[in-house]
């Protein structure tokens, strides 16, 4: 934007292809306005006459509580990313801001050595900034985000076809004035599209989606053959009954009894009919090792609390009251944290007592505090509330998502935790 007399032109479309950098199904302004009112996705392409690449492209997706933005340089490379979320009526929150620095005109988009900075923000005032000035080839600095609170929010009225004109172009022009905008005519849009070269496979731009579970139903079907990037062939050999779990309050906690044993624990917002439910484990069999030294192995890879006999028609992240799924970026999760490679299912009404007994049984080896119900599984009870806790081991420390399965009627029928690392899980 070196020519201060140029005006930023804006055209509209249903979508944007990130690979070919072309619009998908162009729209008139009135058609874009109609999609805006209906909450349907559309894009706004900001460009300068005579420039081969757009200045910015915005994805407006009110139905997904998302407004995204990419800024481009003269070499068609993305240089900035903005991710805004509609968390309150009339207000958007800056969830993520990213930037890339290219040292030469020939450097490829997102080159491993390109410098980059990421900022992730959260409505509770927290946030982090990660700076990698040499990309993958140098050190990274992690620090608190330094974006003030007033910069983290914007009014919704400043976006959409009525004023969605400046997301990433926040720096003034050399003259000190802000850019001027006008809608592109149909002939200008056609001329801009005419010199675009479509290369590579299509990659339509969509709002970020949270992580989705992989093959949970199949993991609990004996005989299913699966593979991961580590193991070329595994077979679900059995579904093992572990123990009965009493949930008198219908309030389910899934958490590490040691890490999350103080306070209320991570209670799921989904309410379950009070009762007694069976905890099961999916067991896979495979051979570990190399060539003639491979050893047969059987391993519990997932645990589930069986809430009903109906099959799960859909799966979703099991959330707590504090979780807001609108904050999740691509493939992100909410879940329970563990630094002891363990988790547990328990009734919330007796959680603190149950977790304390688990600690005494496991750490202090107080035999009367609990019992081992199966290899790797322990149970504690609280007779005052008539509730139980049944623990399980995970494949390591970290955050583990909890998945809720629903029948076609919407009734919850299963709660599952994948306890083993199963990268790129696929069916054979």
Is position 140 within any domain? Answer: yes
Is residue 22 very low, low, confident or very high in pLDDT (cuts 50, 70, 90)? Answer: confident
Residues 142 and 280 placed together within one structural domain of the fold: no
What is the end-to-end Cα distance of the chain in Å, rounded? 53
To which H or E segment does residue 355 belong? helix 351-362
Domain membership of residue 112 as a residue range: 8-194
In the predicted structure, residue 181 carries a pLDDT above the cut 80: no
The answer to the question of residue 363 being in a domain is: yes
In the prediction, which pLDDT does 158 show?
Answer: 57
Domain assignment present for 134: yes
3-state DSSP assignment of residue 361: helix
Residues 82-101: tens digit of each pLDDT:
999 999 988 999 999 999 99
Asked if the model's pLDDT at residue 178 lies above 60, the reply is: no
For residues 249-274, average pLDDT: 88
Report pTM: 0.87
**Does residue 357 register a pLDDT over 70?**
yes
DSSP string over 137-175: GS--EEEE----GGGSEEEGGGSSTTT---SS--SPPTT
Q: What's the pLDDT score for residue 94?
A: 93
Q: Which of 300, 271, 275, 265 is nearest to 285 (CA)?
A: 300
**Eight-state DSSP code of residue 228:** -
Examine the domain organization and report whether 98 and 26 are in the same domain.
yes
DSSP letter assigned to residue 185: P
Same domain, 45 and 178: yes
The confidence band for 2, taking pLDDT boundaries of 50, 70 and 90, is very low
**Residue 103 shares a structural domain with residue 226:** no
- Count of the separate structural domains present in the chain: 2
Q: Are residues 379 and 262 in the same domain?
A: yes
Q: Calculate mean pLDDT across residues 277-301.
A: 88
Query: Within 10 A of 16 (CB to CB), how many other CB atoms are there?
Result: 25
> What is the distance between the alpha carbons of residues 43 and 34, in angstroms, rounded to a whole number?
13
Given a cut of 60, whether residue 172 has pLDDT beyond it is no
268, part of any domain: yes
pLDDT of 382 reads: 96
181 and 220 together in one domain? no
Looking at the fold, whether 55 and 139 belong to one and the same domain comes out as yes
- Reply yes or no on whether the pLDDT at 168 is more than 80: no
pLDDT for 24 beyond 60: yes
| 138/240 same-domain check | no
Same domain, 105 and 252: no
Domain boundary (161, 194, 227) is at 194
Nearest Cα residue to 404 out of 219, 282, 280, 254: 254
Q: For residues 364-368, give the mean pLDDT.
A: 95
Alpha carbon distances (Å) from 1 to 41, 48, 405: 28, 8, 51
Is the model's pLDDT at 41 over the cut of 60?
yes
Task: Indicate whether 259 belongs to any domain.
Answer: yes
Check residues 5 and 135 and name the one with the higher pLDDT: 135
Answer yes or no: do 247 and 384 share one domain.
yes
Q: Which helix (H) or strand (E) segment is 11 a member of?
A: strand 8-17
Q: What's the average model confidence in pLDDT over 388-416?
A: 96
Q: Residue 396: what pLDDT?
A: 93
User: Does the pLDDT of residue 121 top 60, yes or no?
Assistant: yes
Is the residue at 400 inside a domain? yes
**Which of 194, 229, 260 is at the close of a domain?**
194
Report the run of H or E that residue 88 belongs to, with start and end. strand 78-88
Instruction: Please state, in angstroms and rounded to a whole number, the distance separating the CA atoms of residues 208 and 330.
Output: 4
Query: For residue 280, is pLDDT > 50?
Result: yes
Are 125 and 271 found together in one domain?
no
Task: Categorize the per-residue pLDDT at 262 as very low, low, confident or very high, splitting at 50, 70 and 90.
Answer: low
pLDDT above 90: residue 175:
no
In-domain check, residue 423:
yes
Is 199 inside any structural domain? no
- In a shared domain, residues 281 and 166: no
Pick from 275, 257, 274: which is nearest to 378 by CA?
Answer: 257
Is the pLDDT confidence value at 364 over 90?
yes
CA–CA dist 24, 11 (Å, integer):
12
């Amino acid at each position: 934007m070196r020519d201060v007399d140029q005006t930023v032109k804006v055209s509209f479309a249903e979508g944007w292809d990130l690979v070919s950098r072309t619009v998908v199904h162009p729209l008139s302004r009135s058609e874009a306005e109609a999609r805006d009112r209906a909450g349907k996705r559309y894009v706004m392409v900001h460009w300068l006459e005579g420039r081969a690449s757009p200045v910015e492209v915005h994805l407006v997706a009110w139905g997904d509580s998302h407004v995204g933005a990419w800024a481009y340089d003269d070499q068609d490379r993305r240089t900035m990313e903005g991710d805004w979320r509609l968390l309150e009526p009339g207000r958007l929150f800056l969830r993520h801001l990213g930037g890339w620095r290219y040292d030469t005109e020939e450097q490829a988009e997102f080159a491993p050595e390109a410098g980059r900075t990421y900022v992730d923000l959260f409505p509770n005032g927290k946030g982090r900034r990660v700076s990698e000035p040499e990309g993958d080839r140098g050190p990274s600095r992690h620090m608190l985000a330094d974006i003030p609170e007033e910069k983290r929010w914007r009014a919704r009225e400043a976006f959409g076809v009525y004023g969605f004109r400046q997301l990433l172009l926040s720096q003034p022009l050399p003259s000190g004035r802000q850019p001027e905008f006008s809608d592109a005519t149909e002939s200008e849009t056609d001329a801009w599209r005419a010199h675009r070269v479509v290369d590579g496979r299509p990659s339509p731009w969509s709002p970020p989606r949270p992580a989705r579970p992989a093959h949970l139903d199949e993991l609990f079907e004996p005989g299913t053959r699966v593979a991961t990037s580590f193991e070329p062939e595994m077979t679900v050999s059995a579904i093992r009954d572990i123990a009965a779990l009493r949930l008198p309050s219908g309030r389910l906690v899934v958490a590490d009894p040691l890490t999350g044993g103080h306070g209320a624990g991570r209670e799921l917002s989904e309410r379950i009919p009070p009762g007694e439910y069976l905890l099961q484990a999916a067991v896979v069999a495979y051979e570990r090792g190399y060539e003639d030294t491979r050893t047969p192995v059987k391993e519990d890879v997932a645990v589930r609390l069986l809430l009903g006999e109906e099959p799960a028609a859909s799966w979703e992240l099991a959330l707590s009251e504090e979780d807001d799924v609108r904050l999740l970026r691509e493939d992100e999760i909410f879940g329970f944290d563990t630094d002891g490679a363990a988790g547990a299912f328990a009734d919330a009404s007796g959680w603190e007592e149950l977790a304390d007994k688990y600690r005494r049984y496991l750490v202090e080896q107080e035999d009367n505090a609990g019992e081992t119900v199966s290899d790797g599984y322990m149970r504690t009870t609280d007779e005052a509330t008539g509730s139980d806790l049944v623990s399980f081991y995970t494949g390591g420390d970290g955050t583990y998502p909890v998945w809720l399965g629903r029948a076609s009627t919407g009734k919850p029928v299963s709660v599952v935790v994948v306890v083993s690392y199963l990268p790129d899980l696929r069916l054979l």
